[in-house]
Amino acid sequence: MDVNQSAVIIIANAGDSRSSCLEALAAAGERNYQEAERLLKDAEEKLLIAHNEHTNLLVSDARGESVELTLLMVHASDHLANAETVHDLTEQMIHILEERDNV
């Protein structure tokens, strides 16, 4: 298993997810909820790819397989955690905006 390759997959997909979340929030701010939903779904798909790659590394480690801890891997884990937080907050903020506009 190439840890650096896994790290790059995590970083790229987590970064794409975060970007889609921020675009979704901007679309919701403009009351374009259909576009916001599309972008949020895209963000979730990218986040799932990153999360699955990270989980595969965790499973390998749990099985006793050698998983080298590198600065790049730490960076990838940070990107994943950040993307998950941004996604959760974006969902909540879009929900609040939708409620505001439906009042």
What are the catalytic residues? 75
Q: With beta carbons less than 8 A apart as the criterion, state whether 65 and 3 touch.
A: no
Q: With beta carbons less than 8 A apart as the criterion, state whether 43 and 90 touch.
A: yes
Q: Phi and psi (nearest 5°) for 3?
A: -65, -40
Q: How many angstroms separate the CA atoms of 71 and 23, rounded?
A: 29
71 CA to centre of own chain:
20
